[in-house]
């Protein structure tokens, strides 16, 4: 053990190793801070600060400060913190006093790192258990379920030292399309994604044991370590569909497609904010144009059908009762109650009758019928019309073959139940025979008539025209072109409005930047004046010190000269007194040995030297 002779204790910084190191921060980044003013209802920019989240003695503290200045504010984090990430780089937060703040990060990766750090502090209890924290909750829309197909963006951070999140992120994508199941995404990620909605953001902690797929395969996007994933759902392609919808027939295919297409577009609008609302206006105008054109087409078809039925009634005198019996549908006893409600009244509009029939068929199948079904796109509409035309021709050919024998004579009437015959007798007898069937029956009754060949040629010409219409677009192409032109004009108008909004936004940004520059200029002026005052004070102190140094140098020179002169005088006085004493001690002509001379000289010099030292001690050298 070393004692007081240990000189190390006097060395600078000997106890430096015993100093307490500051704790490692969870978040330490620059942000642009804005404060919400409740009176003006606007965000007031406070400038650029440092956002730091670190562990203190008893709690985790969030501090916003600027180097060399006081903290803007500081508070302890709690489980009910309101941390809301929006638009990738903005975070809204409310302090315990109720003041709302807005953080603008440098980029999306920095905002994701801070959000991941908050998520791991607020949700994770053990490093071996998966957990999640909702950083942005959207309560509207369909919740995410297994096997849904989604579009999402994410930032993935591999954790080397738990629970610290470090930049840059290990991986990340902005538009990733995948199914929500263990075959396409890690098991730990899928488990904690369930329940999210389009537009929401969630931080998910995935331990290393749950970063593989269901079969144990590795996903190259997610490394085999503890992960923190900041995930945002952009859209869900399954949103808006019924949970269990059976397969519809051909008549309901258009309505189901239209409703799904509308729900998909609405989900995109809800995830897109203001731009989504503007897209929704364009989409609604587009749908209105297409719906109006399709409605006009259906009305014209209904009018033509009613005209054909009127002509059938007027020419029914030459038609046998066999066609009336064959056109009455064969009812199922279990559906007798529905058949009475689905009968068309004489005053019902043809379009309304078709819509009610579709709704009744959908309800009978157990599906959900929408009264506001949307038409499909133009290409699918032409395809459906082509298929409907081909199926109608096949049915007409089949009915021709069913209604006649090989010899060309009409078949006998089918069996009719009593309820059907009673119903047929009570209701007015209106023939619904197709025009080609009527012409074919007239031709068989009078095979040598001249008009039968003309009718066949007319029918053949109509069929050829229908085929050409299907290839070239048909008479409805003018409606399509008008609809496309209208949509193009509306789209151009919306583009011009967007350009105007962009210009206004740029002007607002320019004005705000000018205001900020003016405020910064005033601050710089005040700081410059303060520095100038301090500089003048320092210059005055330097001048005073220089004068003092000159005076001290002058005094030093004078004192040195006085000390030298006094030393000379003291030496002269000492030597004079010593010479006088030696002259009195040693007599002239006497003999002395060396020891006597040295003893006498030593005694004399000692005597006068002590006297000179006493004089110096009393009076000094100067």
H/E/C letters for each residue in 25-37? Answer: CCEEEEEEEEEEE
Average pLDDT in the chain: 72
Is the pLDDT at 498 greater than 80? The verdict is yes
The Cβ of residue 166 has, within 10 Å, a number of other Cβ atoms equal to: 13
* Residue 125: per-residue pLDDT: 86
Mean pLDDT, range 15-39, rounded to an integer: 81
The HSE-up count of residue 413 (CA atoms within 13 Å, CB side) is: 12
Q: For residues 136 and 130, what is the distance between their CA atoms, to the nearest angstrom?
A: 19
Class of domain 20-236: alpha beta
Is the pLDDT at 112 greater than 50? The verdict is yes
The Cβ of residue 169 has, within 10 Å, a number of other Cβ atoms equal to: 21
Of the pLDDT bands very low, low, confident and very high (cuts 50, 70, 90), residue 399 is low
Mean pLDDT, range 73-94, rounded to an integer: 88
Between these two residues, 92 and 140, which has the higher pLDDT value? Answer: 92
Angle at 292 between CA 290 and CA 296, to 5 degrees: 120
Of the pLDDT bands very low, low, confident and very high (cuts 50, 70, 90), residue 190 is very high
Is the pLDDT at 434 greater than 70? The verdict is no
pLDDT tens-digit series, residues 234-255: 988 876 554 433 333 333 333 3
Q: Which of 8-12, 113-117, 176-180, 554-558 has the lowest mean pLDDT?
A: 8-12
Nearest residue to 171 (alpha-carbon basis) of 208, 245, 224, 239: 224
Of the pLDDT bands very low, low, confident and very high (cuts 50, 70, 90), residue 19 is low
pLDDT tens-digit series, residues 523-538: 888 999 999 999 999 9
pLDDT tens-digit series, residues 375-394: 444 455 555 666 676 676 66
What pTM, to 2 d.p., does this model score? 0.40
* Residue 59: per-residue pLDDT: 85
The Cβ of residue 479 has, within 10 Å, a number of other Cβ atoms equal to: 19
Mean pLDDT, range 557-570, rounded to an integer: 87
Mean pLDDT, range 224-229, rounded to an integer: 91
* Residue 15: per-residue pLDDT: 54
Domain map of the chain by residue range? 20-236, 487-619
Residues in the chain, overall count: 622
* Residue 363: per-residue pLDDT: 58
- The strands making up 90-94's β-sheet, listed across from edge to edge, are 73-76, 60-65, 42-55, 27-37, 100-104, 90-94, 83-86
Q: For residues 551 and 2, what is the distance between their CA atoms, to the nearest angstrom?
A: 49
Q: Which of 120-129, 328-337, 416-425, 427-436 has the lowest mean pLDDT?
A: 328-337
Mean pLDDT, range 451-478, rounded to an integer: 70
């Amino acid at each position: 053990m070393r004692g007081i002779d240990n000189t190390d204790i006097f060395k600078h910084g000997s106890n430096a190793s015993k100093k307490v190191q500051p704790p490692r921060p969870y978040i330490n980044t620059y942000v642009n801070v804005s404060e919400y003013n409740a009176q003006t209802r606007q965000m007031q920019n406070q400038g650029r600060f440092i956002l730091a989240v670190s562990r203190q003695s008893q709690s985790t503290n969030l501090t916003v400060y600027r180097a060399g200045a006081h903290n803007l504010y500081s508070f302890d984090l709690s489980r009910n913190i309101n941390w809301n990430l929006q638009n990738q780089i903005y975070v809204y937060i409310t302090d315990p006093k109720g003041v709302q703040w807005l953080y603008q990060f440098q980029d999306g990766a920095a905002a994701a790192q801070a959000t991941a750090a908050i998520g791991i502090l607020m949700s994770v209890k053990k490093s071996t258990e998966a957990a999640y924290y909702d950083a942005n909750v959207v309560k509207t829309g369909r919740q995410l379920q297994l096997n849904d197909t989604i579009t999402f963006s994410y930032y993935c951070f591999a954790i080397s030292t738990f629970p610290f999140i470090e930049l840059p992120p290990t991986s990340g994508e902005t538009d990733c399309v995948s199914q929500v199941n263990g075959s396409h995404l890690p098991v730990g990620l899928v488990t904690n994604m369930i329940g999210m909605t389009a537009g929401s953001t969630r931080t998910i902690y995935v331990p290393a044991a749950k970063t593989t797929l269901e079969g144990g395969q590795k996903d190259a996007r997610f490394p085999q370590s503890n992960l923190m994933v900041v995930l945002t759902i952009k859209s869900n392609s399954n949103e808006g569909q019924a949970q269990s919808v059976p397969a519809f027939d051909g008549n309901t295919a258009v309505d189901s497609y239209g409703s799904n297409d509308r729900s998909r577009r609405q989900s995109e609008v809800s995830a897109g904010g203001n731009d989504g609302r503007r897209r929704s206006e364009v989409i609604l105008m587009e749908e209105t144009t297409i719906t109006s054109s399709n409605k006009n087409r259906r009305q014209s078809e209904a009018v033509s059908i009613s005209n054909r039925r009127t002509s059938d009634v007027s020419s029914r005198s030459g038609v046998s009762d066999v066609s009336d019996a064959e056109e009455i549908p064969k009812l199922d006893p279990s559906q007798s109650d529905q058949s009475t409600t689905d009968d068309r009244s004489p005053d019902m509009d043809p379009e309304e009758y078709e819509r009610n029939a579709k709704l009744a068929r959908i309800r009978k199948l157990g599906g959900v019928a929408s009264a506001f079904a949307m038409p499909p796109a133009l290409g699918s509409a032409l395809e459906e019309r082509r298929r409907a035309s081909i199926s109608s021709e096949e049915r007409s050919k089949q009915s021709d073959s069913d209604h006649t024998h090989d010899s060309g004579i009409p078949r006998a009437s089918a069996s009719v139940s009593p309820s059907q015959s009673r119903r047929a007798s009570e209701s007015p007898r209106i023939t619904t025979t197709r025009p080609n069937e009527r012409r074919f029956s007239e031709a068989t009754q009078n095979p040598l008539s001249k008009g039968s060949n003309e009718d066949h040629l007319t029918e053949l010409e109509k069929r050829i025209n229908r085929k050409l219409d299907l290839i070239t677009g048909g008479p409805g192409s003018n409606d399509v072109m008008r609809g496309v032109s209208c949509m193009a004009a509306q789209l151009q108008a919306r583009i011009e409005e967007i350009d105007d909004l962009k210009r206004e936004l740029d002007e607002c940004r320019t004005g705000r930047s000018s205001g900020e520059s003016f405020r910064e200029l005033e601050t710089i002026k005040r700081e410059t004046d303060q520095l100038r005052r301090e500089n003048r004070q320092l210059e005055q102190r330097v001048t005073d010190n220089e004068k003092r140094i000159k005076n001290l140098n002058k005094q030093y020179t004078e004192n040195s000269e006085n000390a030298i002169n006094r030393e000379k005088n003291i030496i002269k006085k000492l030597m004079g007194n010593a010479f006088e004493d030696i002259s009195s001690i040693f007599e002239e002509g006497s003999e002395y040995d060396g020891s006597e001379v040295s003893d006498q000289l030593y005694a004399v010099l000692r005597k006068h030297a002590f006297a000179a030292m006493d004089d110096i001690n009393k009076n000094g050298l100067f």
